[in-house]
Chain A
């Protein structure tokens, strides 16, 4: 079990160091629908503590990125696990991992739209 976790941690460390923070802010298009998909993808490929995603989401908000995109980003940060894919497949099988990640991708966008709709109306 230990070699597997060490491998995952090494991979996460590499991604964290290889992708600069500026990358995240430059990819949004300011189109709400497209940004919610972009937000989900970026959240899905990112990794780290949830608190990092809150701070990044807050910074995106200051830069005028739509709340739907930021919400999709916050949700997918934890619910989609591209970097953990190998480990998840190893423990639960390919079928579960693929279906769970696809469902989480769709749910991130749907939930983001619902959350922002409710938030704007209460």
Chain B
């Protein structure tokens, strides 16, 4: 188990090191792109930080106050259609970039939530109710409603494909992360 923890930590560091190396190479050949990218990064980081905080707080609450039994009852594989409704609604109301939600989804997965739930959640992030006013500048209500309804249907199809036809084991290296 300790080996997994160490490998997991190394992977994260290597990944960051690799990206920094790309930046350094770009910095040598194109200083302007290097500076602009760093400036974009700092703006993005400031913008995303509250979401990080929200997700990690939520993750903390989930770990300490929500039991395995409750998860199985509401979003576990034995919970029936309820889990699909929750996956759809959670995907729609979730904010921030998708990767911020990976740790919490992973956490739920280790507690018995299926890959189908995760796939449905991710797919429904394409529906953003808060941005409808912007959407309406370019598209009409008929188009937006059609888009959202079809997306929900396809999210369910994707979730069901994962649940019924695809057998995936938990990756060992992330069991302890």
Contacts and interface: CB of A to CB of B under 8 A. Distances in A.
Given A7-B19, A17-B36, A88 B99 contact: yes
Given A81-B98, A92-B118, A18 B33 contact: yes
A7 B12 CA distance: 8
A52 B127 CA distance: 13
B37 interface: yes
Interface in A31-69: 49-51, 54-55, 57-59, 61, 67
B45 interface: yes
B19 A10 contact: yes
Contact of A54 (B26, B134, B151): B134
Interface residues of B, number: 63
Interface string B38-78: 10110011001000100000000000000000000000000
Given A7-B16, A13-B44, A93-B171, 17 more contacts: A3-B12, A3-B15, A6-B16, A13-B38, A17-B33, A51-B134, A74-B147, A79-B125, A79-B126, A92-B102, A92-B106, A92-B171, A95-B168, A96-B115, A104-B123, A111-B150, A111-B151
Contact of A50 (B103, B105, B128, B170): B128
A98 to B, nearest CB: 11
B131 A51 contact: yes
27 contacts: A1-B177, A5-B99, A5-B100, A7-B18, A10-B16, A10-B19, A13-B41, A14-B22, A14-B23, A14-B33, A14-B37, A50-B128, A58-B137, A61-B139, A74-B126, A84-B98, A86-B15, A87-B99, A87-B102, A91-B103, A91-B106, A92-B109, A93-B169, A96-B115, A103-B158, A107-B157, A114-B150
| A-B interface, 9 closest residue pairs, ranked by CB to CB distance from nearest | A58-B138, A93-B171, A13-B41, A78-B126, A13-B40, A7-B16, A3-B16, A91-B102, A4-B12
B170 to A, nearest CB: 7
A96 to B, nearest CB: 5
Contacts of A111: 150-151, 154
Contacts of A81: 98-99, 122
Contacts of B174: 90-93
A120 to B, nearest CB: 10
B176 interface: no
Contacts of B109: 92
Which of B15, B18, B48 has the most chain A CB within a 10 Å cutoff? B15
